[in-house]
């Protein structure tokens, strides 16, 4: 797991609203019912955990950040919720305990997704469902005329900013290799209009300045960015939603 913290409570609250449509659809696909036992891996401040507990499910909120776990317990607690601070590949739950697992935008922060997938397999019951939601940063477009500059910006986010930002496309193959059967893969596209709105998701100016300082973006490209960033700037990015079922060995 990437332990470099690049987000805070306010950022998570903002993303909860930005990706609200995908979140709502993901809850429907989980088909939560009373007495389900589910884990939300990478639960952050626990807003999704609290919503899932309203179904009558027993929910474990899992996050490696102790501050987020503290906030979750304080703001989004319930008798049907237990919050656990741990890494996603070492979860202190019994094997074959869970009916369902939800992992929302955690794999972008993980260097090697396979140990997390194996841990999900361990704690799921046979036939249990794993849901993965994550941003496919390699799908991004800023609609820039300078395609080389756009390529460099995409690589800065997908391959450098997030440890696992370029890993999402490997996950379907890893699921199959670890005894999961994929039931569906779908894409939700989000368009952000203007740099300010796009920067609510990704900190463009900060990352581009870093790339310029490192010599990865030329002076000409840096000047081009400063010219175009406030002129008809749009960002397109896809969220991938994967549903998979644990098979018996």
The string of pLDDT tens digits covering residues 208-240 is 999 999 999 999 999 999 998 888 889 999 999
Instruction: Give me Rg for the CA atoms of the chain.
Output: 19
**Alpha-helix runs per DSSP H in the chain:** 9-18, 20-30, 47-53, 66-75, 114-123, 147-155, 171-177, 195-199, 204-213, 219-228
User: Locate tokens 């070492």: which residue?
Assistant: 90
What pLDDT, in 10s, does the model give residues 74-103? 999 999 999 999 999 999 999 999 999 999
Following DSSP, what letter does each residue of 111-148 receive, concatenated? S--HHHHHHHHHHEEEEEEEEEEEEEEEEEE---S-HH
Tell me how far apart the alpha carbons of residues 51 and 91 are, in angstroms, rounded to a whole number: 22
Task: Answer yes or no: are the C-beta atoms of 1 and 110 closer than 8 Å.
Answer: yes
Q: Which of the four CATH numbers 3.90.1150.10, 3.40.190.10, 3.40.50.150, 1.10.10.10 does domain 9-138+163-190+238-246 have? A: 3.40.50.150
Q: Average of pLDDT values for 157-174?
A: 88
Number of Cβ atoms within 10 Å of the Cβ of 142 = 21
* Helix (H) and strand (E) counts in the chain: 10, 7
Quickly state the pLDDT bin for 111 (edges 50, 70, 90): confident
């Amino acid at each position: 797991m990437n332990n470099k913290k690049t987000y805070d409570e306010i950022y998570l609250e903002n993303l909860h609203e930005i990706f609200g449509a995908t979140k709502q659809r993901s809850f429907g696909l989980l088909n939560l019912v009373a007495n389900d036992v589910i884990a939300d891996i990478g639960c952050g401040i626990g807003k999704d955990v609290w919503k899932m507990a309203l179904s009558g499910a027993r929910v474990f909120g899992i996050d490696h950040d102790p501050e987020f776990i503290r906030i979750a317990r304080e703001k989004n607690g319930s008798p049907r919720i237990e919050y656990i601070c741990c890494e996603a590949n070492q979860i202190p739950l019994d094997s074959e305990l869970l009916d369902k697992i939800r992992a929302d935008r955690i794999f972008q922060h993980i260097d090697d997704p396979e140990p997390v997938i194996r841990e999900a397999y361990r704690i799921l019951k046979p036939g249990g469902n794993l849901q993965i939601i994550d941003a496919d940063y390699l799908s991004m477009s800023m609609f820039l005329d300078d395609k080389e500059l756009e390529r460099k910006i995409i690589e800065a986010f997908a391959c450098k900013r997030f440890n696992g930002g370029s890993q999402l496309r490997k996950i379907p193959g890893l699921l199959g290799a670890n005894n999961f059967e994929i039931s569906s893969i779908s894409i939700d596209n989000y368009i952000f209009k203007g740099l300010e709105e796009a920067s609510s998701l990704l900190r463009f100016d900060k990352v581009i300045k870093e790339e310029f300082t490192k010599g990865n973006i030329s002076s000409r490209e840096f000047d081009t960015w400063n010219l175009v960033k406030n002129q008809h700037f749009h960002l397109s990015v896809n969220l991938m939603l994967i549903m998979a079922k644990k098979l018996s060995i």
